[in-house]
Amino acid sequence: RRCQVPSMECLRVCAPPGPSFAVPTTRRAPTRAVKSRAMPSVSASGAEASTTPTKKRKMLALHGRGGNAAGFARYMAPLVEATAETWEWEFVEGPHSTGGDGRAWWNLPPGVRTFEASELDGIQDSFKLLDTCYPFDGLVGFSQGAMLAAVACGRGIKGGHRPSVAIIVGAAWPTAHGDDVRKLMRVELAAAEADGEMRNAVPEALAEVVPPSDPLVRSLHVVGKQDTTNPPAQAMKVAEAFSCAELLEHPGGHVVPMDEKAMRAYLKAMR
């Protein structure tokens, strides 16, 4: 059911997965975006699966600081393949260089972390980039990309649109844009109130069998217990800003877990 108050009681905790693996740092020439499409599925008899056209939803993937679209696409390939029948993926390149093939969504002074910064220089360029990528149905972000996803869910994209699904991995609280993130809860509460008014307008017997609305943004927050880059308390603060957030804790550090339990959590979020 839709949660009515921003409380930790809204968080539903998934079982912790097994060991995870760090995002690779392999460099390659930067590209603005990488689109991934898996081969069509084949039945056990070898015949091609049904060709009945089904409109796929679009997932935008945002790499971490120092990564790039191509490297993130290679790393996330198992999830891309597992969701190929229902989702089309686009891996977007951050607009700012960190040196070599590394990219970022905003710039920071030396030694300053995002949760410490009073300004995120260049984030407006990233907002414009997300606007050009719209429409899309979901956001997956890691580290700095996860923080950008959280801010985008709050402030809205291209006139106030929001993705229906967000997977936030290894985030910290983006202090300089904390009000943008908090805006999501205000919007969720307004939507919940409107939903309640609609249900009150129908006969009581009918209202009882009509399921409540899902949150505007169904979110999964992935937190590494040993994350020293963006400590777990920072990630939890981001999760608290989402209505009825799902929480997946894993025993690793600042990584995107891709083990079996994590994959099940991703697939559930993308249902």
pLDDT digits over 41-80, tens only? 333 334 444 455 679 999 999 999 999 999 999 999 999 9
Q: Are 31 and 101 in contact (CB under 8 A)?
A: no
Report how far residue 240's alpha carbon sits from residue 235's, in angstroms, rounded to the nearest whole number.
9
pLDDT at res. 195:
57
Comparing 21-25, 122-126, 195-199, the range with the smallest average pLDDT is 21-25
The stretch 198-225 carries a mean pLDDT of 69
- pLDDT category, 242, cuts 50, 70, 90? very high
| Gap between the Cα atoms of 3 and 166, Å rounded | 17
Count of beta carbons in the 10 Å neighbourhood of residue 131: 13
Average pLDDT of the chain?
82
**What pLDDT is stored for residue 134 in this prediction?**
96
Q: Enumerate residues 6+ apart whose C-beta is below 8 A from 39.
A: 84
Instruction: Look at the block and give the residue holding tokens 């869910």.
Output: 153
Q: What is the pTM of this model?
A: 0.78
Closest alpha carbon to 199 in 187, 211, 183, 190: 211
CB 196 within 8 A of CB 210: no
